[in-house]
Structures are given as C-alpha cells and as structure tokens.
Chain A
Amino acid sequence: MDNELIQFEKDDKHCVLFVQGDVDLSNSSQLRKTILSALKTSPEVAVHLSQVSYIDSSGIAALVEGLQYANSHDKRFYLKNLSPHVQSIIELARLDQVFTIET
C-alpha cells in the first residue's frame, strides 16, 4: 500500500508504518485497517508518528485497537518518534503508560 496517509516498509519479521498529515474521522478507519492488516502478516509492527500534525480520538483508538490485537495474538506493536502533538494527546489520555514508545 502506498498512499498519502500511510507508507510502509516490510520484511519477513517486521512491518514499519509511516503515518503523515492529519488523522481524523475521515481516514482513521484506513489507519485501523492498515495496522490490523500489518499485524496479521508480521510478528512485529511499528508505527512512526513523527510526521503526524493532528490526530483525533478515532486515530488514537485505531492505535489502541492495534495494541489490543497484538496483545491477544502474541505480536509486538509499538509506536515510534511521536510528534509533539501526538505525544501530548497520548499523555492526556495517560496512554503513554500503555503503549511501548520508542524514540
């Protein structure tokens, strides 16, 4: 998949999703589907969020659903390089204590 919102790199064991721009009600379902699809085919999925200028609650929920799926299917799911906006939204909901976040 190659589009404006999400690009990815993949090998046998890893899938890395690069998200950019605004994530809101108009496209969060696309993020959710891409994350779940990546988790079905890779044991480890990372989501890079440094280029995300805005994320709404439905976008955060997509990330939570990814973690929910990974935990119940013995996969590894983590977030990487949060933009300041994403970081503050995740901290507001205290999800920084739930997600694995790498820099």
Chain B
Amino acid sequence: MNAKQQTQAVIEVNNLETYYGQRKILDGMDFQVDQGEIRVIMGGSGSGKSTLLWYILGLYKPDGGTIKVLGQDINQISFNDHLKLKQNIGVAFQSGALFSSMSVGDNVAFPLREFTDLDENTIRIITRMKLEVVNLGGFHKLMPSQLSGGMIKRAALARAIVMDPRLLIFDEPSAGLDPVVASEIDDLILSLRDTTGVSVVVVTHELDSAFKIADRITVLDQGKNLLTASVEEVKQSKNKRIMDLLQRRSRHDKLDPEDYLRRLTQENYTLS
C-alpha cells in the first residue's frame, strides 16, 4: 500500500432508497467496498445493479440514505469538490461510450485535457502508455468504428485509468466478448489492482469472470443487498435466489451428468 492509499472504505452506502416514479428501486441498500478490493455485483435484471452504480457516481440524488465515496458524502459536498472527487473515479460502461468523432488516442486523452494542465507531449506519452497497458499500443490513430468489441472495451478501460484513479467502476466489462478476450479483460483488471492498489467495482453477469476476479461478491435482489460474501461462500450458499442465479453455471464447473440428463429429459424436473 502506498502513500496515496488509505485503509478506509472507498464506498459506504447506507440505507439507500431510490424510486423510479412510484416504484421503489433500491430498498434500504447497504454496500461497502474496501480499499484495494475487487467487488463484483451480481443479480438478475431489475435487481438494482446499474441503479446502484448511477447513485454511487452521483448521477441522481437519493430519496433516502447516505452515499460516501472516497470518504466524502457525495450529496453534501460542493459542486467543485464533487468534480475533484470524480477525477479519482474511472468509469467504463458496457457500451464503451467512446466519442465516435474522436480517435482512440483523443478519447483516452480526453480527461487529461479536460482536468489537468499537462502539456501535449506529456499527455501524448501518458495516453500511449495507457494504450500499451491495455494491449492497444500503436492503435491511437484509429477511430472507434474501426475497433472490434474487445478493442472498444479495452480503449474504454484505458480512458478509465488515464487519470490514475483510486476507484474503478465497470458495468459489464466482458459482456458480448468471446471467452478468450473476456479472460484478457479479467487479467487486466486483476493486474491493475495488484499493481496500483486501485479499488474496483464490477457489475457482471459472467460467472466465470466474477469467480476469477472477485475478492467478494455482492448479490442484489429486489433492490436489497441479499448477500456479500467470498466467492466460495456465494458458491455454497443455500439461498434459493442465489442458487437460481448460479444456475447460469460457469462453463468450467463440473456437471453432474445424471442431473444434467434429468434436467434435459424429465417433464416434471424441478430444482431440488
């Protein structure tokens, strides 16, 4: 742990309540992420995964509860302090969200040009260094439309880390990627955490990815934190909701051939 890091929690969400119209989306959500931790958030559609990220990023005001990010209550700090705070948070959304009219290099350099006084030579070096980190060295002149899905995700990752953030937030970093490329993204996330000590929050549906990178997994259900536990504890959970979630089995899990055959063939098969 270096001097820039502290032992405090990087995210502290307490009793968060949010509504979409009359519908309650997050219902007394508690969620805490420690410094240097990789936390994976899982849950079915509508469980509140993305909503939780939006509120942590301060995109909306909560209807109840508190959210502290890097020690600051994001609904109490000034606009300028929130702007500074956001410079310590790297975000990569599912789509990559690159600016289509800018080259890959300009996309990655964007936060440096927006938030620092660094000269162009330094910005160029940092930008290309980050592209090297994500294995896109030499691709800075390409436009986003010229990139594959995996390359777009990696370019978005390069932009997310360009400011050396203390917290990285990824929404479905490996969705839609083939297993080899998805595994490369996982390795990159692990390598970044191990090298820089950055804290990482990842929303994913991919069980292989979650089990590979998570220090702890948080399972959301109907706007609540159903369980936060280690990978092994989640795998062994007897909670029906969690077992249902894990029914989307990892490809590397060993199958019980007889049970599998029953699932395929028995008319009245139900989960035991």
Give the interface of A toward B (CB within 8 A).
21-22, 24-25, 28, 32, 53-54, 56-58, 60-62, 64-65, 85, 88-89, 91-95
Contacts and interface: CB of A to CB of B under 8 A. Distances in A.
Contacts of B132: 93-94
B125 A56 contact: no
Given A54-B2, A93-B133, A94-B132, A62 B122 contact: yes
B125 A61 contact: yes
A53 B2 contact: yes
- Lowest 9 A-B CB distances belong to which pairs? A61-B125, A54-B2, A53-B3, A56-B164, A57-B126, A92-B195, A88-B195, A61-B122, A54-B4
Dominant SS at the B interface?
helix
A79 to B, nearest CB: 15
A57 B164 contact: yes
A25 to B, nearest CB: 6
Contacts of A22: 2-4
Nearest to B3: A53
A94 B118 CA distance: 22
A32 B121 CA distance: 12
B196 interface: yes
B191 interface: yes
Given A61-B122, A92-B133, A94-B132, 5 more contacts: A57-B162, A61-B118, A88-B195, A89-B195, A89-B196
Interface of B: 2-4, 116, 118, 121-122, 125-126, 129-130, 132-133, 162, 164, 191-192, 194-196
Contacts of B116: 25, 58
A57 B130 contact: yes
Contact of B122 (A32, A54, A89): A32
Nearest to A84: B2
Nearest to B123: A61
Contacts of B192: 92
Contacts of A58: 116, 118, 122, 126
B129 A60 contact: yes
Nearest to A21: B3
Contacts of A88: 194-196
B125 A65 contact: yes
A60 B118 CA distance: 13
Contacts of B125: 61, 64-65
Contacts of B195: 88-89, 91-92
A102 B126 CA distance: 24
A55 B129 CA distance: 14
